[in-house]
């Protein structure tokens, strides 16, 4: 059986004394590989390599660091099909969606290629008599990222691309469910010219996560996962004196106004709710039509569209989406479907018993649609993270706005309307971090910033864009004077002023 290695100091590392976890094929339910579960000793070797390499990298001028990013981008593009096939085999995404996962990560790498400009500081000439003030951004040192299963290429690149371009050394702990692509990305970084030790990949479970959060030489941690774990990561890392950004769960709403183009809504909503089997933090699992006429018309169009969705193995070119990632996750989604039925939601379209001939042990769930969902239901309040769409009917714009604003999660939201005033008011007033106007999945472009509100994000700095640069650097401000020896009037015991 294939055993996935750690990647430390530019080399594959297999340690015989570590425990291992199984990597399953979501299409068949069979074991396809195993991954080591690292220990404190594993992390120590990665930190030592990172610490050794980081100072010279920080002293490397930004344009040379950017050239490595340019080279890496070209190598990932050249290997994109191979990486997407590998990603699909472990995660269960269809091939085109796996390619999109890689492409969205590459867009942040493109941003990192411009790091010389992003690291420029500020300068004030003549802030006082003969005094100039300037600032510089410097790397933190050794930093780390803990990434989830649902985007095994994109989210690691979101993190390590900007962090390494800023001059840091990076330790990546990917999900143990689909860890092969992160290792391949680390190898391509070395091929691109990154010195060994600057990007290390260590595998593991909660034990190594705890080691990362407690390690005194790791100065910052970025995390993406469920909200409860994100909160715990934030608290533990902060207690250890680290800078922490911890992105949590989501329950994104799509508000459908009576004037919306329902054909466009249905086309967008089917992809946003069921694409990647709903395993996206920016999926759209809640639709809120305003008015009974809007709800009834949308319901009928959605049923017709859902009948056309093809659920099949991820390597089937006809598949719209494939299996979910593990048997445990399939069971979790099924639990929420049963819970919604018990709570009184109307099951309009049931995909929970979907099977694939010849793949009966695969982790497949067909598209599932509930109507008459209310805000008091637990299945509405919590994140399902699967191909389940819930309709919550609203009587007015303000009621729809309130639903999205008062939900415990505040990651993303969308509104569909032809009314510019309604869209503007919604964007201004809604208590959510990322807003789409006639856009179903409002993930910002790489040079803007990604981050939600409320229980969707812990910490005060978002991912990528200039917020990412700020997170992975610290600011140093210099006040300088070059006296000519003629000024003897200053009283050295007074507080300095610029008057």
* Cβ 351 vs Cβ 311: under 8 Å: yes
Q: Is the pLDDT of residue 483 over 90?
A: no
Q: Is 248 helix (H, G, I), strand (E, B) or coil?
A: coil
Do 425 and 463 lie in one domain? The reply is: no
At which of 380, 404, 437 does a domain end? 437
Same domain, 379 and 404: yes
User: Does residue 367 contact residue 386 with C-beta atoms inside 8 Å?
Assistant: no
Domain CATH code at residue 109: 3.40.605.10
In the predicted structure, residue 191 carries a pLDDT above the cut 70: yes
Judge if 176 and 320 occupy the same domain. Answer: no
**489 confidence band (pLDDT: 50, 70, 90):** low
Q: Has residue 49 been placed in a domain?
A: yes
pLDDT the model gives residue 241: 96
> What count of other Cβ atoms lies within 10 Å of the Cβ of residue 228?
11
Q: Residue 204 sits in which domain range? A: 2-248+456-478
| CATH number of the domain within which 341 lies | 3.40.309.10
- Helices marked H in 275-413: 292-306, 327-343, 378-381, 397-406
Name residue 370's beta-bridge partners: 347, 390
Residue bearing tokens 């009621």: 399
Above 80 in pLDDT, residue 430? yes
Across the range 222-244, mean pLDDT stands at: 97
Domain count, the chain: 2
Q: What tokens were used for 248?
A: 């949590």
pTM for the model stands at 0.95
* Cα–Cα distance for residue pair 381/122, rounded to 1 Å: 45
Q: Are residues 30 and 62 in the same domain?
A: yes
Is residue 499 in a domain? no
Q: Is 360 exposed, middle or buried (0-12, 13-18, 19+ CB in 10 A)?
A: exposed
pLDDT > 70: percent of the chain: 98
Same domain, 128 and 160: yes
The pLDDT assigned to 18 comes to 87
| 490 occurs within a structural domain | no
For residues 306 and 277, membership in a common domain is answered with yes
Using left for φ > 0, alpha for ψ between -120 and 50, and beta otherwise, residue 346 falls in beta
Mean pLDDT of all residues in 437-462: 94
Q: Does 177 reside within a domain? A: yes
Degrees (nearest 5) of the Cα angle 89, 93, 98? 90
Q: Using one digit for the tens of pLDDT, what is the confidence trace for 261-282?
A: 999 999 999 999 999 999 999 9
My answer on whether 232 and 111 are in the same domain is: yes
pLDDT digits (tens, 9 = 90+) for 363-388: 999 999 999 999 999 999 999 999 99
Residue 109 located in a structural domain:
yes
Residues 342 and 243 in one domain: no
Structure token digits, residue 282 = 């920016």
| Mean pLDDT, residues 280-308 taken together | 97
Looking at the fold, whether 179 and 34 belong to one and the same domain comes out as yes
Q: What is the pLDDT of residue 490?
A: 59
Return the active site residues. 281
The whole-number pLDDT of residue 485 equals 75
Per-residue pLDDT tens over the stretch 50-78: 999 999 999 999 999 999 999 999 999 99
- pLDDT band of 493, cuts 50, 70, 90: low
Q: How many residues does the chain have?
A: 499
The reply to whether 208 and 258 lie within a common domain is no
| Mean pLDDT (whole number) for 240-259 | 97
Contact 171, 200 (CB under 8 A): yes
* pLDDT at residue 119 greater than cutoff 90: yes
The pLDDT-based confidence of 15 (bands split at 50, 70, 90) is: confident
Residue 487: the pLDDT is 62
Residue 338 confidence (pLDDT):
97
Cα 484 to its chain centre, rounded Å, is 54
| 145 and 287 fall within a common domain | no
CB 281 within 8 A of CB 488: no
Is the residue at 491 inside a domain?
no
What's the distance, CA 298 to chain centroid? 30
pLDDT of residue 99 exceeding 70, the answer is yes
> What's the mean pLDDT in 170-190?
98
Whether residue 492 is predicted with pLDDT greater than 80 in this model: the reply is no
Q: Is residue 78 part of a domain?
A: yes
pLDDT tens by residue, 299-313: 999 999 999 999 999
Q: Is 416 found in the same domain as 474?
A: no
List the Cα angle 217/221/227 in 5-degree steps.
145
Average pLDDT of the segment spanning 160-188? 98
Give the separation between CA 193 and CA 185, rounded to whole angstroms.
Answer: 13
pLDDT of 497 strictly over 90 = no
**Burial (CB count within 10 angstroms: exposed 0-12, middle 13-18, buried 19+), residue 125:** exposed
Domain assignment present for 493: no
């Amino acid at each position: 059986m294939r055993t996935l290695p750690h990647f430390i100091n530019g080399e594959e590392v297999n340690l015989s004394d570590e425990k291992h976890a199984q990597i399953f094929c979501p299409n068949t339910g069979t074991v396809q590989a195993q991954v080591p579960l690292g220990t404190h000793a594993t992390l120590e070797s990665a930190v030592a390599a990172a610490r050794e390499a980081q100072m010279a990298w920080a002293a490397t001028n930004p344009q040379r660091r950017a050239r490595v990013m340019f080279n890496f981008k070209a190598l990932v593009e050249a290997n994109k099909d191979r990486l997407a096939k590998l990603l699909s085999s472990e995660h269960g995404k269809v091939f085109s969606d796996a390619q999109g996962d890689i492409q969205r990560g590459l867009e942040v790498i493109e941003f990192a290629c411009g790091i010389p400009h992003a690291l420029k500081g500020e300068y004030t000439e003549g802030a006082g008599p003969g005094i100039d003030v300037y600032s510089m951004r410097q790397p933190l040192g050794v930093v780390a990222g803990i990434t989830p299963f649902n985007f095994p290429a994109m989210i690691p690149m979101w993190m390590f691309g900007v962090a390494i371009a800023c001059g840091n050394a990076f330790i990546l702990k990917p999900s143990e469910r689909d860890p092969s692509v992160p290792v391949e990305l680390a190898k391509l970084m070395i091929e691109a010219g990154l010195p060994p030790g600057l990007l290390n990949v260590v595998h593991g479970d909660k034990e190594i996560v705890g080691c990362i959060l407690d390690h005194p030489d790791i100065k910052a941690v970025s995390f993406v996962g469920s909200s409860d774990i994100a909160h715990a990561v934030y608290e533990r890392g902060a207690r250890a004196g680290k800078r922490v950004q911890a992105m949590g769960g989501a329950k994104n709403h799509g508000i459908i106004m009576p004037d919306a183009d329902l054909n466009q809504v249905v086309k967008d909503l089917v992809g946003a709710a069921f694409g990647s089997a709903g395993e996206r933090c920016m999926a759209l699992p809640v639709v809120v039509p305003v008015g009974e006429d809007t709800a009834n018309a949308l319901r009928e169009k959605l049923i017709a569209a859902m009948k056309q969705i093809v659920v099949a193995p991820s390597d089937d070119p006809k598949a719209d989406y494939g299996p979910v990632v593990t048997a445990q996750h399939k069971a979790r989604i099924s639990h929420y479907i049963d819970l919604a039925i018990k709570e009184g939601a109307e099951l309009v379209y049931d995909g929970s018993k979907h099977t694939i001939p010849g793949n009966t042990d695969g982790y497949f769930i067909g598209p599932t649609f509930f109507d008459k969902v209310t805000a008091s239901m637990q299945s509405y309040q919590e994140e399902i993270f699967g191909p389940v769409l819930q309709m919550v009917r609203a009587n007015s714009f303000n009621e729809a706005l309130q639903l999205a604003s008062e939900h415990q999660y505040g990651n993303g939201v969308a509104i569909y309307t032809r009314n510019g005033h309604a869209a503007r008011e919604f964007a201004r007033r809604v208590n959510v971090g990322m807003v789409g106007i006639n856009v179903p999945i409002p993930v910002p472009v790489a040079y803007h910033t990604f981050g939600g509100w409320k229980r969707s994000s812990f910490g005060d700095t978002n991912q990528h864009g200039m917020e990412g640069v700020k997170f992975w650097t610290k600011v140093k401000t210099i006040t300088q004077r070059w006296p000519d020896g003629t000024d003897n009037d200053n009283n050295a015991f007074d507080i300095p002023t610029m008057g």
